[in-house]
Structure formats: C-alpha cells, structure tokens
Amino acid sequence: MNTTTQTIGTTTLNVDGMSFGHCVQAVTKALAAVPGIRVKSVEVGSAVIETPDGGTTGKAIAALEEAGYPAKAVGDAAAAAHSTPAKSGGGCCGGAKAMTPGSAPGTKTSGGCCG
C-alpha cells in the first residue's frame, strides 16, 4: 500500500509577449511538455498551473522563456488579477524583438512561436 502523498501547489504565472489565441496555444504546449506540470488554464498574459514543487515551477518558467515568452510566478490568483504584465518583447512572432534596426517592417529576425 502506497501511503506517500504528493502535495500539488497551484501557481499563477504572468506571461509576457502573448497577443492572441495562437500564443495561448503555444504557451499551453510549452507548459504541457514539462514533466510534472498540469495546465489548469492559459489566457493572454497569464497561465495557471499545478506543480508538485517550486523546482517544477522554475522548469515551467524556463520552458516558456525558451519558447519566447518571459514569465514570472505570482504569489496567488488574486495578485495576478491585479497585476499587469510588462511588455518586454519576445512571444508570438517575435513581438518587439522581431525587428532589428534598419530592417523592413514585418521582417522577422527572431523569436517566438512563429519563428
């Protein structure tokens, strides 16, 4: 008989660089690929996940950053509802980082889920 109980914690993440539904799909996919993560919800600007420990939360944040979405954990859902994510580029289609000085508008040069 297994008497070990695993404590699952709910964490809200502020996720920068999301602008529309495709970004929600990309963030959901990135989080779902992290072992130990259960994705509860994702919307533009935030995600709610369940994790067994803080280390797994760090892995989720790292996975999002690798996908082009800078993220940070918020203390609780109430705090997340009152916070505004900073616009720092990255994200879908490269966001603000998509253009380099001297490049033509619409020319992607880096980042995000679209390239």
What domains sit in the chain, N to C, each tagged with a CATH number? Answer: 9-88 (3.30.70.100)
pLDDT at 91: 52
Alpha helix segments (H runs only) across the chain: 21-32, 54-66, 77-82
Residue 9 is encoded by which pair of tokens? 């914690």
Q: Mean pLDDT across the stretch 84-111? A: 42
Cβ atoms of residues 14 and 80 within 8 Å: yes
pTM of the full structure: 0.64
pLDDT at 104: 40
pLDDT at position 113 over 80: no
In tens, the pLDDT along 38-75 reads 999 999 999 999 998 878 999 999 999 999 999 999 96
